Amino acid sequence: MQENNNLKKQTMKRTIFYIVIISALITTSCDKKLDVLPQNSITPDQIKTPEDVKAVLAGAYKLYQGPAAFGEQFTLIPDLLASENQVDWVGTFTEYRQFQNKEQLRDNGIATGIWENTYAIILDANTVLDKISLITDEDEKTTITGEAEFMRGVAYFELVNLYAQPYSAGNVTSNLGVPLVLSPVYEYDSTKDKPSRATVDDIYKQVLSDLTDAAAKLPEDNGTDRANKYAAEAFLARVYMNMADYENAATMANDIISSGIYSLASPYDKAFNIDGYSPEDIFAIAQTNQSNAGTSNNGLTTFYSPQAPDGVGRGDAQVDPDTLLFLMTRTMQGEAFLLMA
């Protein structure tokens, strides 16, 4: 019996010893892991080279490609908000139906996602502009500056259209728009990095400033998937249209048309059913078969394309057949007019 008691005591001591050793190792390991900075944070000393600046700019393009931007919601949500039976949401996602019914709730996750993603784009653009001195080649510096301003201008244009009264509502100097952030945020400080909403007028002035400067700096040809002079002018035309400044809108549009670079696809369906870009594309961000498409994720193809065997999506957003026929007829008439001219 005494031997058994001694054996139990020794076993207990060893167990306690091992627990202490394991606890010490875990604590040391945790301390080391906690010392690692989060990889999705940006600090000034992490951006040291021209390639670092270009990587941040590429990140902004990537955010534009996603479903919370041009990959889906910059197009689908305005369609649902403006729809008077032209587009019908028949899917089961209640947050999309809120937009269809014009009954959006304050905790709508789609509205939150667009807001966060678009301000992340603005953060990237502000960071590029803050670190632009790292680009030593002057021509490249000018182009990248124009791209960053284009990114920020488009982002604020989309935000003010979705989260404020339209410019046509008047009272632009008193109607509230969205917060205007023009500096990078490397370490969040609630006393200066949580600004109040600027007016609609302030946002439009910033959009015009960014896009006008971008159009002056960007080349006519900037390679595939990147903004150029005419992309900036195309968005300027839209901004001026919203402001009912039709003269400037026409000036921007005419400059694009007279360039001779772009033309209507013929027949009309070749603007869509092709691999790559169509002759109509002024600014486009490519989508792959895996990008914002399928039946289980988000994306324009996911929601607008019918279910198999006719399509590859879910068919949640359905275009009214009469509206579709009207648009097809007007498009073909436009093509015929251009061919006769």
Structural domain boundaries, residue 243? 50-334
CB 248 within 8 A of CB 266: no
Residues 59 and 99 in one domain: yes
Residues 254 and 114 in one domain: yes
Pull the structure tokens for residue 13.
Answer: 């001591």
Confidence (pLDDT) at 199: 98
Residues 147 and 174 in one domain: yes
Q: Is residue 340 part of a domain?
A: no
Q: What is the pLDDT of residues 163-176, one digit of tens each?
A: 999 999 999 999 99
Residues 308 and 208 in one domain: yes
Average per-residue pLDDT in the chain? 85
Average of per-residue pLDDT across 177-195? 90
pLDDT of residue 146 exceeding 60, the answer is yes
The single-letter code of the amino acid at 293 is: A
Confidence (pLDDT) at 6: 52
Q: What percent of the chain has pLDDT over 70?
A: 82
Q: How many angstroms separate the CA atoms of 124 and 150, rounded? A: 12
Q: What is the pLDDT of residues 42-51, one digit of tens each?
A: 676 789 999 9
List alpha helices for the chain, DSSP H: 2-34, 50-65, 73-82, 94-100, 109-130, 138-163, 200-217, 229-242, 246-258, 300-304, 321-340
Residues 227 and 316 in one domain: yes
Residues 275 and 192 in one domain: yes
Confidence (pLDDT) at 225: 84
Q: How many angstroms separate the CA atoms of 164 and 207, rounded? A: 15
Question: Number of C-alpha atoms within 13 angstroms, CB side, residue 100?
Answer: 17
Residues 86 and 234 in one domain: yes
Q: How many angstroms separate the CA atoms of 196 and 178, rounded? A: 8
Residues 131 and 272 in one domain: yes
Residues 127 and 32 in one domain: no
Q: Is residue 339 part of a domain?
A: no
Domains identified in the chain, total number = 2
CATH number, position 222: 1.25.40.390
Q: Is residue 271 part of a domain?
A: yes
Burial grade of 213 (CB within 10 A; 0-12, 13-18, 19 or more) = middle
Residues 166 and 248 in one domain: yes
